[in-house]
Amino acid sequence: MAAVLRRLLVPSCSRWRPVAVPLKHRVLHRAGAPLLAEGSRSPAACSRAESGWQHTQVGGSVEVDLKRLEGQDEGIVEVLMCRHQARNALGHVFVSQMRELVSTLSSDSAVRVVIFRSLVPGVFCAGADLKERALMNNSQSDLFVHGLRSLMTQIASLPTPTIAAMDGVALGGGLELALACDLRTASHSAQMGLIETTRGLLPGAGGSQRLPRMVGVTLAKELIFTGRRVGGQTALEMGLVNRAVEANQTGDAAYKEALALAREILPQAPVAVRLAKEAINRGVEVDIGSAMAIERMCYARVIPTRDRKEGMAAFIEKRPPRYIGE
């Protein structure tokens, strides 16, 4: 029955077909369809013509895309949200494309840091697509929100550090997406909040659980009960974001701060960073004794790595380490 409902609810995912490109372009394979992403250009929009990206899309619009950075930033991957007309609202196609890209990233050992950013000016993610939701019956709505919750868990489970760059509004499910990331940057002009109670709902994609773990139970209750929106600086003071910066004229101050943060993570030993994330994420959910056992297991897995030996050698030889992720 669930499979039947999914076929009814979810339109065909976007698919790409390859075109002739120089050999320097990398090829990503997802769900049997190659995605060719150029790493050196920074697209101003998600349009294929405007961005100059070397792939074409078949069977619908591209609402979520992916870009691999190159050169000194190799290992940083950007997930680009570009549903312009609907302000990155979490509709069927958007969620399906996001799920597919995140699945690709989860098994890619070349990825060191993932940045989630928006190409829609003034918006990170406006939350649920209420126009789509209005057409669903109760069971369809429940099934869709279950899928949305599953997507946020999928993002939270990525083995590499993730950063949400909020250069605009992040409301409802949009903030839940950011909460599923490890780190968050925001411009002072950004507005964020779990506003579901103002729509007769409650946060259903993990927000009611992740926000209390982040800012504390009492403050989380106040924010959720009132549906209040807060700006970037207030979010920083609450501990909701890691860094808040003044907005700039190009509207990408939070993204630039996220990129700077990613560049701080990038030189560190990849296996050690992944295992540190695992130790933290698993440890905070259990008692301190069990958490110490988790730390010990993660530490034991990093001891035999070539990167650990390289780190020790680099320290003794007084030179920068050259980590390879093994």
**Distance separating alpha carbons of residues 71 and 40, to the nearest angstrom:** 8
- The DSSP code sequence of 1-43 is -HHHHHHHH-PPPPEEEE----TTSEEEEETTEEEEE-SS---
Question: Looking at this protein, which amino acid is placed at residue 316?
Answer: I
Write out the catalytic residue numbers: 128, 173, 176, 196
Q: How many residues are recorded in the chain?
A: 326
Cα–Cα distances in angstroms (integers) from residue 103 to residues 28, 100, 173, 203, 217, in the given order = 12, 5, 19, 24, 31
- For 170, the token pair is 């992040």
**In which residue are the tokens 């070349």 written?**
110
Contact 286, 294 (CB under 8 A): yes
Q: Residue holding tokens 């530490």?
A: 299
Nearest to residue 230, comparing CAs of 189, 203, 193? 193
- Where would I find the beta strands (DSSP E) of 95-190? 113-118, 123-125, 162-166, 169-171, 183-187
